[in-house]
A and B are shown apart, each in its own frame.
Chain A
């Protein structure tokens, strides 16, 4: 049984940058507990000798590091708030 304490859900939500109401904490906590319980079957699965991060072999693809403009920066800046060519963001502290 993967008991999921409320404090754990609060911690996970904080890491995921999600603000949850008390009602949401209870709902997702219950759902996650049930889902994680169903994952327990993995403990009985034989472990493979190796693992990879992709289902097929993937090789490194290298190219010359030459600067070029692929997409007009003006176009790219339309997808964000900018000020005098800088991307605006929140304060860090």
Chain B
């Protein structure tokens, strides 16, 4: 059955909340079975791919990213590309060159980042599934702030072919939706080995019927630095799980305190090399003054077109991999990642999942974000970074509301065990009443 697409209603929604940076203007004649959107860092025929950056203005890829190709082949109609922080550099989707998505529950607040437009679209459009991308929490964070479900699969589960890289050892394509049944339906669609992305080629077959049993673990380190409303709401959710028969243990994971610095070293180091290709010769903004020396030619486009946070992260990553600093930062961070992974695996010996709040606070107002220093913003990711750094699959589920704003909880499972997370989502959905934003009632 072809679902009805109301372009005018989408336009009105976009004027108010800005989930999309580009949308279809007419519905094509051919039949489709479902609609979906894609974060703007996924290449799709027929759309620009700008990754929220002015430097990619005008770039029209002649191919589909593998996850988009698979969704289209399964009968999906791509409605548009969703707004995001430039190249994924942000926690609130405020670093976009093409509009800032507004929170569906309160448009004076942020959607979270960097897949903010994707979570916003999933919250506002009925029956919609959004393709998001997470490097350090960019699916979980906006899902928590926008009151929807965000699934980040194991690193390598979904092909990254056609994804505009941020940190290639960290980037993961995933799904955001109001409904766990959509996540269950579409995860098998986008998953699977792809010779065009070798990191996808050593995965075991996705088996959603494989569900781990056993108690859940809550690291005590994840209960520090929370606002009282998030702490209380998470506590209530844990209580509900216990009343439903789930055993929950508080454990200690001391290595988690190293995750934030290790992540930012690796992510910015990789980003600084991945973004070297944007230099005015290919993809987007073109410099035409060929008489210049190549250093001046490259520097001119990059200096004029990269945004503030992109420049900051390129500088940080370039510094961390320079001679004299590489061992201290980059190699140390790689080693620390192994240590954190080992600590997770130790916890998984006796536990089915690791549970925590998703974000330490509810979606902030835009004027609060404007006064935050870069380090404060980076530190806000301390709960979403550990599973992302270690490539572990995780899901963010709405678990309560404070002052009308959603609060999320995040469950992390061992590598390749996404079925455990979907099972949790289904069980949680039978006891918890999700709210939809007033804007779509």
Contact = CB atoms under 8 A, between A and B. Distances in A.
A59 B255 CA distance: 28
A1 interface: no
Contacts of A65: none
B306 A42 contact: no
A72 B63 CA distance: 10
A81 B288 contact: yes
Interface size, A (range): 35 or more
Given A45-B255, A56-B391, A58-B202, A38 B261 contact: yes
A89 B261 CA distance: 38
A57 B201 CA distance: 10
A13 B315 contact: yes
Contacts, number: 185
B261 A51 contact: no
A46 interface: yes
Given A35-B264, A55-B155, A72-B62, A48 B283 contact: no
A53 B261 contact: no
Interface of B: 59-63, 154-156, 169-170, 195, 198-199, 201-202, 255, 257-258, 260-262, 264-265, 272, 276, 279, 281-283, 286-300, 302-303, 306, 311-312, 314-316, 318-319, 322, 329, 331-339, 341-342, 373-375, 378-379, 389-392, 415
Contacts of B286: 80-81
A79 B334 contact: no
Given A17-B302, A58-B199, A35 B374 contact: yes
Contact of B155 (A42, A56, A88): A56
The 4 closest A-B pairs by CB, nearest first: A55-B391, A90-B297, A48-B338, A75-B62
B281 A16 contact: no
Contacts of B255: 45-46
A63 B198 CA distance: 11
With a 10 A CB-CB cut-off, give which of A18, A54, A55, A79 has the most chain B CB atoms: A55
A90 B405 CA distance: 52
A32 B279 CA distance: 24
A15 B281 contact: no
Nearest to A60: B198
A51 B338 contact: yes
A9 B23 CA distance: 40
Contacts of B391: 54-56
B156 A28 contact: no
20 contacts: A12-B319, A18-B303, A18-B311, A20-B303, A31-B373, A32-B319, A35-B375, A38-B261, A41-B257, A43-B332, A47-B336, A48-B342, A53-B334, A55-B155, A56-B156, A61-B195, A63-B195, A78-B62, A80-B281, A90-B287
Given A34-B375, A52-B338, 14 more contacts: A8-B319, A15-B318, A18-B299, A18-B315, A31-B374, A35-B264, A36-B319, A42-B261, A47-B335, A53-B169, A55-B389, A87-B282, A90-B290, A90-B298
Contacts of B63: 71
A72 B154 CA distance: 33
A41 B261 contact: yes
Interface in A77-93: 78-81, 87-93
Contacts of B258: 41-42, 45
